[in-house]
Structure formats: structure tokens, C-alpha cells
Amino acid sequence: MDVRTDPAPDRPAPRRRRALAAAAVVVGLAAATAVTLAVTSDGAADGSGTTLGLVPMPVSLEQDGGDPFVLEPTTRVVTVVDADVAGDVRAAVTGVGETLGEQLAPATGFDLARADGPSAAVDGDAGDGDTVEVSADDLDVVPGSITLRLVGDAAGWDPNGPLTDPAAERYALAATSDGVTIEAATPAGLFRGTQTLLQLLPAPVAATSEQPAPAGGWTVPAVRVEDQPRYAYRAVGLDVARRFYPVEDVLRLIDQAASYKFDVLRLHLADDQGWRIAIDGMPELTEIGARTQSGFAPGTNDTGEDWYYTAEDYARIVDHAARRFVTVVPEIDGPGHTLAAQSAIGALRCDGTPAEPYSGFDVGNPMICSSDENMPAVRDYLHGVVTALADMTPGPYLHLGGDEVPDPPDGWYENYTEAANAEVVAAGKTVIGWHEWAQSETLPPGTLVEYWGVGGRNRAGIGTQVETDEVGYMRDAVDKGADVVMMPPDRTYLDMRYDDWSTYGLQWAGFVDLEQAYDWDPATELTSPLDDSLVAVPADRVVGVEAALWSDRTYQNGVLALPDSTDDFVPVQQYMDYLLYPRLPAVAEVAWTPQAQRDYATFVPRLVQHAARWDAQQIGWNRVTDVDWP
Ligand code: TNX
């Protein structure tokens, strides 16, 4: 088939900001997100924890050279909670034990017995979940067991609450030759601890089929870990709109992301090239809007599968994520990036006629007609979409997009943001938007604004006469009360090519090699590198980091040419694996590990040990040449 012959992609350089609001130059930074645990990650045998190969690096790690724990078929997974713990919390803890058993089973072939711990194993003094001290020093190790122990009653913990408290994921882990114990004040903390435990086991444990036990057996080195994330919001974004990813691929990504301690999956569910989620009461959105992908015009769907998620599909994704304490954030972009919606609903256009279905590669297409006169139709659309999506989504956030609307007529952009914000608030959810969203007159309480400006273009101008609009939007975001998620494309856009040898990926934000993805600080991304008194976003307003996999051009040599046919497109799993690995773990560590403990030189020797794990999982990772792989 034919595909559109759009020009090669490039994004306009941000315009210069009209005037610099002097008052908005914030001077004197508060420290970055407080991390209260001791910074002692050098207790390991070689002084840097390298031999353990943990990614992300925990806050604190000690090895005393004791004998390892050996996982046997007779090892029990014991979950321990106090008697007064609420049923849903108790069930969540049990679920962590089940998931660990499921994760250990394929490679070891062990069907580990699980047990709810004897209350005798629990200290009688466990207090209120908010204030418990979790320490690796006094963990009771139950012989022959992996013990997952909830400390306190987790009373304040809500699996669907906002991701604002890094301490909520704190855990401690102790392994001795007797057993392994993980303690945390929340089920989420326990789960993060289990992901550390899996990395402490030999690489073949990651395999999806039974493996012979490694020499020495399935060992866990004697170790004490105390850990918690730097940022509470650690996202992976997946663009399922330009290219559709079947449910199984999304579940696989959730597993991968959770293994590196990400806790958010943002799904870009609607764009010009496709609408990917069934909306109750608005069937035309998928009937018409889901027939296209970038490079796939209507009529080219010969897969026999729908290119959208049904309510059941979406529920599967949300449930799978919830088992791994990953919050799904659905994104419906607007008022730009909406040709799929406009092709389904003519009323979103000023002349009332539906748009042609779009399968090209351009951005900056016409926005929804958000004139005052047309707002009733826009409100209907937003009401239907937002209420349906809020009903399907247990997590607290709805992402409204807001990017790349070239020259909107006066008031149109604000009309749209105001109406969309109101719908999200009425639906009881919290708004997330791209940095342009900060142009909204007001931002509802709790709003997160995601910064996607290229650092290499924006940073030097911060606080000067040539500060860009993008930086200005972030000042507005902070002034309007929002917190900030950092996703500079020259660091965290995993759809960028690594280097000249990358066979796919874009490069409008430059190459993103492994070091580029790793070696930056979210807290100071919007502080001038030339004068640290020039601050657009104070460090204490940065609450998260996102790694994004966009899907504009999922074909070979996409940056150089348009595809000749759909045969040029690579299977989605190949596209994901190649672009996510090895960079995804790099961004994971940016989001998790305190800045003072991060160092590319010590990251790489830990990371290379993961190659065997990726192989065991049959991940088609990119063997980038700037790293010495084993
Ligand atoms: C920018 S990030 C976009 C996306 C593209 C991506 C490609 C953002 C808010 N907009 O529409 O897919 O670049 O790298």
C-alpha cells in the first residue's frame, strides 16, 4: 500500500518568550526530594556494590561476607501482617507473595509454598503505618523462608492515591544463609523489595522457561538493603496511538518497567493517527478512529484484530499493572493531535464535517474547533470521554495532553483547557498535561505538568532575555500551583536514535545514547547551568521523571525516509526492545536513586550484568557499542 509522503519530521525550535517575568525567577533552591535513609551504598565487597549488579542502585547496601541464602524447592514465601490490618491491605500483601512465587517459578521450576506468617514471628509493637521505621538491622529472618512483613497497619495507604510520597515505597531487605526478609510499611514497598530480591538471584532466574540451577544454586548473597525512591512518580510512556500495541505487549512492558521499579504507565491513547480505547456511549470513536495507524491507512488492517482496547482489554492492563503497583495514566491528547476524534465526530470541526482519517506522519495538524460558539459540542465530547475514562481507571490521574497546537485562534486553547480541567475535576481525578497546558488560566489542585523541552536548547537561556516559551510555560505551571514531571526528550525520549548506527528511531531531539539518558539531574534540569541562581522550576517542585516511547515512525530508517510499504514496519516488540534496552534501566535509576549516589562510571558495570537477564527474557536489546558488554 501507499503511505503519505510527508516531509521528514522535525520539531520547530521553541519561540523566544515575549518577556521574562522577573518576579518568576526563583532564587535559592530547597534541597531535592528529601531522602531520609543513610547514604551508605559502599559497604559492598568492592566498595561500590558493583558485584551485586542492582539497578536502580539502592540507597543503602551492606554486605558482610556471610554465606548466601540458597533458594530451595522447600523454601516458603511467608507473608506477615498484624491482626488488625484491613482486608484489602492484607490481600495486597498476599498478592505480593503470590506474584513473587509466579516470578520465581518459570526459571526455577519451584512451586514455592506460601504461608501467612505466624503472628509469633511479628513483633508486638508494630505501630501506625505512616511512621514506622523500617530498618534492615533488626529484621527477623524466618528460617528457610522468604518473609514479606508489613510493618504497621498501612492505614494511610491507598493503592489508587496520588503518587506524592517517596517514603511510601520504602523497604528494607536482609538476606542471610537462614532466609530472606523484606519489611515495608506498605504493600507497594514490599513489592519493590521483591524486585530487588529477584535481581540478587543469578541472571537465569529471569528466564521465561525452566533453567538448570546455576553452580552454587539459586543463591542470594548475604546483604542488607535499605531503600526508597528519590521520586514518587516514575513513569514509562507508551504511544499506542501512532502504532497499536496488542495487550500482551503492554503487559510485557509493565513487567519490564516494574522490574526496574517504575510505578506509572502512561498510555497515549489518542492522537491524529488513531483512537485506541472504547468509550462507553461513543462507539464512533473506535469504529472510525481506530482504523488507522501512522503509515497504515483505512483498509490496511489485515491482522484481524481491532486496533483499540476494549473495556475488558483495558481492565486487564490496569489489573496487571495494579498487581505490580503500577498506576495506569490514560492520556487523551487535545486540543491538537485529535484528527482521529475529528474523523469520528464532525461536531469537533467548525464546519461540522468529519476530518479525513489520517495515517500520515505529521504533527501540528488542525486542532479541535474550540471557538466560543462550538464549545457546547466540545464539552459534550470531553464529558463523554472523561467520565467514561474516569470510570474505567482506578488510578487518580487523567492526562489531557495539550502539546503542539500551532497558532490557535485567540481563546480557543484556553476554552479547551478550561472545559477539560472542569470535566476531570468533576470526575474526581487529577489533571496531568504537557507543558503547554500551563497556559490554562488556572490549574486544578494537584495538577502535574510534564516538561518535554530539549535541555540542549532551553537550559542555557533560563532566566535570561532569550528564555524560551517552553521554560516560560514551566514557570507558569509552578506559579499556578502545579508540580512537575521531567521528561526532556534529549534524555528520556526512548524513541530517539542512540547514535548513527541506530536502525530506527527519530533524532529531532538529537541522539540519546546511554550516558545521555543517565547523566543528568531532574532537580536542576530547569536551573540555569551557567548561574544556579536562575531557577525556572525549584527542585522541590519536581516530583517525577518519565521515559517515553513514542511511535511516530516504527519502520526501518524512519528518520531518513518514508516507508515504501507496510512491510518496512518492524514488529512492535522488536521496536520496543531495541529502543528501551539498555536505556530504560538508565532512566529508572535517574528516577529512583539519590543524585549523590549516581555515577555513570559505576552504573555501567552494574548494568552490563543485566544483559544476561535480558537474554533470558528474550529481549531484543541494542548492543550499543559505547559499552563493554560481557
Ligand atoms: C513530541 S512529547 C510529541 C509527540 C511525538 C514525539 C516524538 C509530546 C508532548 N509530543 O507527539 O510522538 O515528540 O518524539
Per residue in 251-300, pLDDT tens? Answer: 999 999 999 999 999 999 999 999 999 999 999 999 999 999 999 999 99
3-state helix, strand, coil split of the chain in percent (to 5) is: 35, 15, 50
Give yes or no for residue 15 having a pLDDT over 80.
Answer: no
118: preceding bond cis by omega (within 30 degrees): no
Which domains are delineated in the chain? 60-227 (3.30.379.10)
CA 337/CA 524 separation, integer angstroms: 30
Task: Tell me what pLDDT residue 24 has.
Answer: 24
CA 338/CA 271 separation, integer angstroms: 5
Mutate to test the pocket of ligand 1, among 404, 457, 512 (most ligand atoms within 8 A of CB): 404
Least confident of 254-258, 553-557, 619-623: 553-557
Task: Tell me what pLDDT residue 36 has.
Answer: 30
Q: In terms of pLDDT, which residue wins out, 22 or 488? A: 488
CA 56/CA 598 separation, integer angstroms: 9
Residue 559's pLDDT band (boundaries 50, 70, 90)? confident
- For residue 195, how far is its CA from the centre of ligand 1 (angstroms)? 31
CA 581/CA 571 separation, integer angstroms: 16
Task: Tell me what pLDDT residue 400 has.
Answer: 98
7: preceding bond cis by omega (within 30 degrees): no
CA 20/CA 466 separation, integer angstroms: 9
Task: Tell me what pLDDT residue 243 has.
Answer: 98
Task: Tell me what pLDDT residue 118 has.
Answer: 54
Task: Tell me what pLDDT residue 137 has.
Answer: 62
Residue 131's pLDDT band (boundaries 50, 70, 90)? very low
- For residue 468, how far is its CA from the centre of ligand 1 (angstroms)? 18
* Phi/psi of residue 26, nearest 5 degrees: -85, 125
Task: Tell me what pLDDT residue 557 has.
Answer: 85
Rounded mean pLDDT, 201-216: 97
Provide the mean pLDDT of the chain.
Answer: 90
Is 470 one of the catalytic residues? no
Give yes or no for residue 357 having a pLDDT over 70.
Answer: yes
Least confident of 35-44, 202-211, 603-612: 35-44
Rounded mean pLDDT, 245-256: 98
Among the atoms of ligand 1, which is closest to the Cα of residue 434?
A: 9
With 0-12 / 13-18 / 19 or more C-beta atoms within 10 angstroms meaning exposed / middle / buried, residue 59 is buried
CA 395/CA 325 separation, integer angstroms: 11
Per residue in 320-352, pLDDT tens? Answer: 999 999 999 999 999 999 999 999 999 999 999
Mutate to test the pocket of ligand 1, among 269, 439, 450, 452 (most ligand atoms within 8 A of CB): 452
Per residue in 216-230, pLDDT tens? Answer: 999 999 999 999 999
Among the atoms of ligand 1, which is closest to the Cα of residue 450?
A: 9
Residue type, 6: D
Give yes or no for residue 22 having a pLDDT over 70.
Answer: no
Asked if residue 495 has its Cβ within 6 Å of ligand 1, the reply is: yes
CA 118/CA 102 separation, integer angstroms: 23
Task: Tell me what pLDDT residue 565 has.
Answer: 93
User: Which residue lies with its CA nearest to atom 12 of ligand 1?
Assistant: 550
User: Which residue lies with its CA nearest to atom 5 of ligand 1?
Assistant: 550
Give yes or no for residue 309 having a pLDDT over 90.
Answer: yes
Task: Tell me what pLDDT residue 231 has.
Answer: 98
Residue 10's pLDDT band (boundaries 50, 70, 90)? low
| Helical segments of 201-273, H only | 247-259
Residue 620's pLDDT band (boundaries 50, 70, 90)? very high
Task: Tell me what pLDDT residue 6 has.
Answer: 38
The total of other beta-carbon atoms located within 10 Å of residue 304's CB is 5
Q: In terms of pLDDT, which residue wins out, 533 or 13? A: 533
Among the atoms of ligand 1, which is closest to the Cα of residue 452?
A: 2
CA 336/CA 317 separation, integer angstroms: 26
pTM score of the predicted model: 0.91
- For residue 550, how far is its CA from the centre of ligand 1 (angstroms)? 7
Task: Tell me what pLDDT residue 5 has.
Answer: 36
- Which residue is catalytic, options 404, 414, 418, 515? 404
Give yes or no for residue 363 having a pLDDT over 50.
Answer: yes
Task: Tell me what pLDDT residue 142 has.
Answer: 76
Per residue in 487-506, pLDDT tens? Answer: 999 999 999 999 999 999 99
Give yes or no for residue 122 having a pLDDT over 60.
Answer: no
